[in-house]
Structure 1
Amino acid sequence: MSNRLLIPLAALALALPVASYAQQTPPRMATPLVVGSVAPAFKGLDAAGRPVALQQLLKKGPVVLYFYRGQWCPFCNKQLSQLQDSLQLLTAKGAQVVVVTPETQENIGKTVAKTKAAFPIVHDQDFAIMTAYHTAFTVDPATVLKYKAFGVDLQKANASPDDVLPVPATYVIGRDGRIKFTYFNPDYRQRVSVRRVAAAL
């Protein structure tokens, strides 16, 4: 991304009203899964086309599951860069880290280039994983127009006819397949620290 685009995207992130989340109509209730509940099984493909499945990951250790909005979001890029820099804090505890996004595999490639992510990032086809984990919500038309004014077309970015994004939530899933920790904040500017996730492990 050129330097000329960095400023508009940063302005976009700050300009969008956080309160707009409450005005949006979710395809399913965008509320966190309860700690202690069974984590929904999921499968998907990472940027290289390799299969990623929760059941297989849990055989190796607990799973830390992150959701992010897209390579156009500076808050997401910052979070994933910090996650990569501090990844050993999680892997040292035997954790398997997997990240889920609605953006296309092509855009995932851009995210990897920006953040140097060495963990699997899964394209959520038809928002199935986001919906199962109650993070998906439909962006209201006014906010969609604001994104487009900054050159961000959600339908194009996600290769979908729907304007859907995830709450950038984080889940820790124990080897028994149950939710051990949840971070769920509709304010997309607020992200959980890697150290807090490590403590939850």
Structure 2
Amino acid sequence: MNKFKALFFISLAAVGFANLSFAQTVTSGQLKVGSTAPSFTAKDYRGRNVDLKAMTQKGKVILVFYRGQWCPYCNRYLSSLQDSMQLIAGKGATVVAISPEMPDNAEKTAAKTKVSFPIISDAGNRLLKMYKTGYTLEDATLKQYKAYGIDLSKANGNNENMLPVPATYIIDQNMKISAVFYDADYRNRPSVRQLVNEL
């Protein structure tokens, strides 16, 4: 990508993405505080196993769902978590990020954000459905995304056209959900201070 194209895309990301429809039909059934978190073992983009239950034995886990490497809001948020890992680790916690994208796109996220925590490629939407964060984009919104060069079928490796609400769950050592941040507006994310206060 030449310099002009890169600057053009950044401009779209900063201004145009804000105009994309975010008021999608989202199932109002997010997991609640006090409920048992679904256990899973999944592979990160490097092919390494991530076992949620095993991780919680060492401390709380901040489980973050993000939309994709193409989303500047997501990249900025993951970067902020990485910048605050000392605070998070100081509370005995760790972070796991989950995206519906294919592993190569999850790897692009890692390269952009310089994160040290696992990024799971949930290309089959299994975890999105388990944690009730997934929603299907309407045709009009898909057209908007394609106009910005985002083809979800290619990025995610399936035709479900599903994205996650950028939800965040904090899971304790008993596999109970101790905090939930769930907002259908992808521009809204919990601050690091909010997360640390819940650990």
TM range (shorter): over 0.9
State the Cα distance separating 1:188 from its structure 2 match: 0.4
Cα offsets for 1:139-178 (capped at 9, x unmatched): 1110000000010001111111110000000000010110
Contact 2:101 2:157 in 1 (8 A): yes
Match 2:167 to one of 166, 169, 173: 169
Instruction: Specify every segment of 5 or more residues in structure 2 that has no aligned partner in the other structure, as ranges.
Output: none
How far did residue 30 of structure 1 move?
4.7
CA distance in 1, matches of 2:177, 2:22: 27
Taking structure 1 as the reference length, the TM-score comes to 0.93
Q: Confirm or deny: 8 A CA contact 1:30 1:135 kept in the other structure.
A: no
Report if aligned partners of 1:12, 1:147 keep a CA contact under 8 Å in 2.
no
For the residue of structure 2 that corresponds to 1:192, the secondary structure is coil
Deviation at 1:112, TM superposition (A): 1.0
Structure-1 separation of matches of 2:197 and 2:91: 10
Determine if the alignment matches structure 1 residue 10 to structure 2 residue 33. no
Find the aligned partners of 1:112 and 1:125 in 2 and give their Cα distance: 16
1:47 aligns with 45
Which residue identity is paired with 1:97? V
Report the equivalent of 1:32: 30
Q: The residue matched to 2:163 in structure 1 has which SS?
A: strand
- Which shifted more, 29-38 or 114-123? 29-38
Aligned partners of 1:117 and 1:13: how far apart in 2? Answer: 23
Q: Name the counterpart of 1:159.
A: 157
Distance in 2, Cα, partners of 1:82 & 1:31:
28
Instruction: Determine the structure 2 residue equivalent to 1:70.
Output: 68
Residue in structure 2 matched with residue 113 of structure 1 by the alignment: 111
Q: Percent identity?
A: 45
- Which structure 1 residue ranges, 5 or more long, are not aligned? none
Partner residue of 2:100 out of 102, 122, 136: 102
Per-residue deviation, 1:135? 0.2
How many residue pairs were aligned? 195
* Separation (CA, whole Å) in 2 of partners of 1:18 and 1:4: 22
The residue identity in structure 2 corresponding to 1:135 is: T
Structure 2 equivalent of residue 139 of structure 1: 137
Q: Quote the residue 2:196 is aligned against.
A: 198
Question: What's the secondary structure of 2:125's corresponding residue?
Answer: helix
Shift of 1:58: 1.1
Moved over 6 A (4+): none
C-alpha distance after superposition, 1:83-119 (max 9, x if no partner): 1111111111111210100011111111111111111
Partner of 2:176: 178
**What TM-score results when the alignment is normalised by the length of structure 2?**
0.94
Matched, 1:124 2:122: yes
3-state SS in 2 of match to 1:126? coil
Q: Which amino acid aligns with 1:38?
A: T
Number of the residue aligned with 1:85? 83
8 A Cα contact 1:30 1:136, kept in partner: no
Indicate the RMSD between aligned Cα atoms, in angstroms: 1.3
Q: CA deviation at 1:18?
A: 2.7
